[in-house]
Amino acid sequence: MNVIPGDTEPTENRAATGQAAASPATAPVVSFNRLELSRILNLYGRMVSDGEWRDYAIDFLRDRAVFSVFRRSSEVPLYRIEKDPRLARKQGMYSVISASGMILRRGQELDRVLLVIDRKLAVV
């Protein structure tokens, strides 16, 4: 079989595309761990039972993970809870951002950051 310069064997094409497909899958992606997600979903469940929140979305990006909370799914998110590890040594990797884009609270501990939107029942 004659091979023209610049042509490759079909098996070589498969190997090359397999390597190209594997490299984006191995790219690091920031995500919430089980404890963080449990704390966020616990707060979400309480707010849904109060009738304040109705929908959520989770985005895992290369540089940050975002948990967005919606009153209605067709609107902009009421709050965005973001985890950005690049800010871990500066202001803190967790932040709560309002619908207008204003950062309500930022810090190193997720529980303390979520206190901005977590209203606990007060005994009177």
pLDDT digits (tens, 9 = 90+) for 77-105: 888 999 888 888 888 889 999 888 899 98
Residue ranges of domains in the chain: 34-114
pLDDT digits (tens, 9 = 90+) for 112-123: 888 888 766 545
How many Å separate Cα 72 from the centre of its chain?
A: 19
Query: How far, in Å, CA of 116 to CA of 12, rounded?
Result: 56
Sign of CA dihedral 99, 45, 41, 112: positive
